[in-house]
Structure 1
Amino acid sequence: MAQPETSNPNASVFALFEESAAAHPQRPFLIVNGIELLTYGEMLQQTGRAATWLRSLGVEVGDRVVVQAHKSPASVILYLACLRAGAIFIPLNTTYQESELGYFLGDAEPRLLVASAGLPGETVAFGATRVLLSSDLRAAPWADVAEILPTVPAVTQDPAAILYTSGTTGRSKGAVLTHGNLSSNVQVLAKSWHWQDNDVLLHALPIFHAHGLFVALHLALFGASPILFHDRFDNAAVLRDLPRATVFMGVPTFYTRLLSEPTFDKELCAKMRLFISGSAPLLDTTFEEFAERTGHTILERYGMTEALMVTSNPYDGPRIAGSVGPSLPGISVRIIADGGMEAATGEPGVLEMKGPNMFSGYWRNPEKTAEDHTADGWFISGDIATKDEAGYIRIVGRSKDLIISGGYNVYPKEVEMVIDGIDGVEESAVIGVPHPDFGEGVVAVVARAPGSNITPADIAAVVSTELAAFKRPKTSIIVDELPRNAMGKVQKAELRNLHKDLFAKTPA
């Protein structure tokens, strides 16, 4: 089958989806529990009504719409309506707490906050318009709107979304992604991954994250592909739908959990064309066991919030365990060694990149934008990588001390700031160590204050109300003091080595 094409490569990203949907109006869009909920033609109707509803609330072109809502068909329509109306969509993790939301709202200054009932977004202090969103599409606030707002024309430079990414200083930064970033990336991925006219996507990723929103969802929309829509990853539900799908995208945790199921085998995956993994490193053992069990080789790729997708193992060529492949077409990467020169083949250095996929900058933070770019315009990823003679990239470390747990980024400084404020804590060092399910587990090594009797339970009680679940330490280790070098810097490498087997599986 042919790959999807577009006659307008520089249009707004929604215009690309609109073109595909108009060509296949009767094709199923969202399929939930085996029921065809919407066709692509109905998606265009729904997004037009929802865009009109946004206008009725005063949302104009360039206004920000912050959304903390459960994954549902209604939240998908809301996202697409924001693109259609020219608003800037800002999705927030559903586990963020009120103290975290306050910062995002103050920084983004949105016109509208949309939240699900029961989430912190429902009650956090907010001075502008707030609307609750039901997961039932029939109860959506635009359900009775008759007028359909035409798609607002957009150009490459117009902002489409802001995704907040944590910083080593403990303050999140809003990466501004333009229509050009999103439209160029989806077209490159569709060609690179040989997207087919008869593809069916099984979607179990969250949609507050670039992976689920800008990769999985966008590719299906660009190809007018049916989506087997899951509100979360559940082994049993995914196994039920796999025989009906051709493409699945997941984080490494998804694959380790599927491999734990005895029924997950070649027969179940007979119709599958492609399994893709990202958001965190895939263990070689998972890669190899998956190929043996299913007959499919996982395609691992690399991206980041500021850059969307950057590299990918090839569709047709060799997919190498531990590698994220060469750079995608139109995207340039280089590896800079200490001293500022490009690293030799196989030698580690900081990965830098440039291309039409790169974000336009951090929201209202020109200083940080400049700091993270070189004088000649390359974005400094902070990841340590090597490149072999064939151009395949391997990510070997993270210069910014990032932890990736279950596909989510955790910056130690943000967690340490919360723990260090607890009575009885002298100081803390937050590290990531290998975890069989999450890739890395967050661990807090906490030095108690003199005379303190603080316990791990005391720390857990505080972080449970201050931090999103994925940021919370899976365990806290109480010590008298943290190891330091001659300059007084805490030796996190020593701590990681000391506790590297903390979550190791017990031999049978």
Structure 2
Amino acid sequence: MNALWSAISAQLLERSQEPLLVDSHKTLLTYEQADQLSQRLASVLLQSGAKPRDRVTVQVEKTPQALCLYLGCLRAGLVFHPLNSAYTPSEIQFFVGDAQPAVVVCDPEACKTFEQGLGADGSAAILTLDRHGNGSLMERANGLAPQDYSQPAPEHGSVVEGDKAQAALLYSSGTTGQPKGICLSYQNLASNAKALIELWGFKADDCLLHALPIYHVHGLFVAVHCALLIGARMFWLPHFEAGKAVQALPDCSVMMGVPTYYTRLLAQEDFSADTCERIRLFISGSAPLLSDTFHAFEQRTGHRILERYGMTETGMSTSNPLRGERRPGTVGLPLPDVSLRVVDDEGKETAENTPGHLQVRGPNVFTGYWRLPEKNAEAFTADGFFDTGDTASISSDGYITLVGRSKDMIISGGLNVYPVEIEQVINQLATVKESAVVARPDADFGEVGVAFVVRDGSVTEQEVTDHCREALANFKVPKQIQFLDALPRNAMGKVQKNRLREHLNKSREDR
């Protein structure tokens, strides 16, 4: 049995009568219920044609049943492949075509989209799970007796894979606009969770306010694993609403969120130090936390938010300390067993406080890109470091400061947005000659996209926006459209996005 499932199954048994998920009214799910339901769901997936190491593509709303579906995949040795519920049909078509799942679990209204994505030759079984936790998946599970596939059984044997086998497949859009599948092993997930539990002082008597999505590394592999592997409770919110979070905080001891969550809490008049009386730790990640937010939060509540850094390919790599200086504007120190370095264009380590390319090596780093050996060769150095694509500097005492992203990625509300993907969509319009998308700072989302468009005919801002909404998830749609006669370019013909950012800055200053 691998280390991840060993730790989870131990808690499912030892904490069987304790609540795993709660809300303001009742216990939503006990550890025993999670144990039994995940066994039934594992049986459904295997009976639907999935075999160990096959992918299970999941696009559903956040429910207790969805969490148990993830546990069922781990239990049966299946590769969990979650999709953002906001993805459009054209995006889904690529994901299922590339991942080639054996089973799809989706909202009933999305069945036709997945059928079209799988095509005539698609052999995947399609099961449904709606936002109320109902559907064909649960109908089939309710008729089965629990069976623990992580233990040897005459007809199946033990199907749980070893530590180095693939546990999950997540996609992160590439700068070329082509999403890349990221293969995460059981070892990647277990080592990261155990390190964070120790670093952040998680105990079984903690209650984590969980308002993050569970299709994302932050909400699933960081938040859920930190609670689940130590036997703690989670106060379960289907999504973040500042008012509901304020009501929940008095019952919680830890909160994880993206910077947007904290800015929205600060906008609540009834959010105060009294609200946070039982909270021992606020954690922020998935996007840069502004120093202004850090100081405003401390002034309002007395709490210094702990900021950390990670990405889909690496899980968490750094963290400000639980005990020690939480330095605003930095993402802290490397995790135990994680090596970080900052190098110049020639691959030589830079001097202290000198920006360069951030690289990381450790048990947290993914095993490689799905079916893209050429991308693996580009992403990893000869001595095994992964090039994150981020620009950073390291202080004399080891604190990491992120300076920028060499790949021009935008992080909006904690979600990754890649400009090239948006530009390709905008450029599909016959009335658009070309476009370029850059980030604009935003007090609520951290960053939002702004599209600069060169017309090739008559086109309005609304037409560009509507076209983007048809092809892209809402969080990727640019929040502003500006028209130019031409995009600024250098002598080699490359678009100078730094000049577009300068144009934005000047426009804000002139207001």
- TM-score tier by shorter-chain length is over 0.9
User: Are the structure 2 counterparts of residues 330 and 170 from structure 1 closer, same or farther at C-alpha, using a change threshold of 3 Å?
Assistant: same
Partner of 1:488: 493
| Greater mean deviation of Cα atoms: 14-23 or 382-391 | 14-23
Does residue 352 of structure 1 match 2:359? Answer: yes
- Per-residue CA deviations over 1:242-267 (Å, capped at 9, x if unaligned) read 00000100000000000001111110
User: Are the structure 2 counterparts of residues 505 and 177 from structure 1 closer, same or farther at C-alpha, using a change threshold of 3 Å?
Assistant: farther
Cα distance in 2 for residues equivalent to 1:112 and 1:326: 40
Is the contact made by 1:101 and 1:124 (CA closer than 8 Å) also made in structure 2? no
Does residue 136 of structure 1 match 2:141? Answer: no
Partner of 2:74: 83
User: Are the structure 2 counterparts of residues 89 and 191 from structure 1 closer, same or farther at C-alpha, using a change threshold of 3 Å?
Assistant: same
Query: Partner of 1:500: helix, strand, or coil?
Result: helix
Matched letter for residue 155 of structure 1: G
Deviation at 1:150, TM superposition (A): 2.6
User: Are the structure 2 counterparts of residues 170 and 242 from structure 1 closer, same or farther at C-alpha, using a change threshold of 3 Å?
Assistant: same
Is the contact made by 2:96 and 2:117 (CA closer than 8 Å) also made in structure 1? no
Partner of 2:475: 470
Partner of 1:453: 458
Is the contact made by 2:21 and 2:64 (CA closer than 8 Å) also made in structure 1? yes
Is the contact made by 1:185 and 1:357 (CA closer than 8 Å) also made in structure 2? yes
Is the contact made by 1:435 and 1:503 (CA closer than 8 Å) also made in structure 2? no
Deviation at 1:504, TM superposition (A): 8.9
Q: TM-score, normalised by structure 1?
A: 0.95
Partner of 1:125: 117
Partner of 1:216: 223
Deviation at 1:123, TM superposition (A): 5.6
Equivalent residue runs for 1:67-216 within 5 Å: 67-119=58-110, 121=113, 124-126=116-118, 127=122, 128-137=124-133, 140-141=138-139, 142-151=141-150, 152-216=159-223
Is the contact made by 1:434 and 1:500 (CA closer than 8 Å) also made in structure 2? no
Partner of 2:420: 413
Structure 2 unaligned blocks of 5 or more? 151-158
Query: Partner of 1:300: helix, strand, or coil?
Result: strand
Matched letter for residue 499 of structure 1: L
- Per-residue CA deviations over 1:214-256 (Å, capped at 9, x if unaligned) read 0001111011111110110011111111000001000000000
Cα distance in 1 for residues equivalent to 2:371 and 2:497: 32
Cα distance in 1 for residues equivalent to 2:500 and 2:63: 41
Deviation at 1:505, TM superposition (A): 13
- Counterpart of 2:287 (choices 280, 283, 288) is 280
Cα distance in 2 for residues equivalent to 1:290 and 1:84: 41
Does residue 38 of structure 1 match 2:61? Answer: no
Q: How many residues align?
A: 495
Partner of 2:153: none
Cα distance in 2 for residues equivalent to 1:276 and 1:503: 31
Cα distance in 1 for residues equivalent to 2:15 and 2:360: 36
Deviation at 1:352, TM superposition (A): 0.3
Cα distance in 2 for residues equivalent to 1:249 and 1:147: 33
Cα distance in 2 for residues equivalent to 1:454 and 1:83: 49
Matched letter for residue 488 of structure 1: G
Does residue 231 of structure 1 match 2:223? Answer: no
Deviation at 1:119, TM superposition (A): 4.2
Query: Partner of 1:118: helix, strand, or coil?
Result: helix
Deviation at 1:168, TM superposition (A): 0.5
Query: Partner of 2:438: helix, strand, or coil?
Result: strand
Does residue 17 of structure 1 match 2:8? Answer: yes
Cα distance in 1 for residues equivalent to 2:326 and 2:260: 19
Query: Partner of 1:130: helix, strand, or coil?
Result: strand
Deviation at 1:153, TM superposition (A): 3.0
Equivalent residue runs for 1:291-310 within 5 Å: 291-310=298-317
Cα distance in 1 for residues equivalent to 2:440 and 2:38: 43
Is the contact made by 1:94 and 1:119 (CA closer than 8 Å) also made in structure 2? no
Deviation at 1:503, TM superposition (A): 7.4
Cα distance in 2 for residues equivalent to 1:502 and 1:379: 38
Partner of 2:154: none
- Per-residue CA deviations over 1:56-84 (Å, capped at 9, x if unaligned) read 10111001000111111111111110011
Is the contact made by 2:59 and 2:105 (CA closer than 8 Å) also made in structure 1? yes
Deviation at 1:490, TM superposition (A): 1.1
- Counterpart of 2:411 (choices 401, 404, 414) is 404
Matched letter for residue 74 of structure 1: Q
Cα distance in 1 for residues equivalent to 2:26 and 2:75: 26
Cα distance in 1 for residues equivalent to 2:77 and 2:510: 49
Does residue 319 of structure 1 match 2:344? Answer: no
Cα distance in 2 for residues equivalent to 1:39 and 1:323: 38
CA-based RMSD of the aligned residues comes to: 1.6
Deviation at 1:33, TM superposition (A): 4.0
Deviation at 1:15, TM superposition (A): 2.2
Q: TM-score, normalised by structure 2?
A: 0.94
Is the contact made by 1:401 and 1:411 (CA closer than 8 Å) also made in structure 2? yes
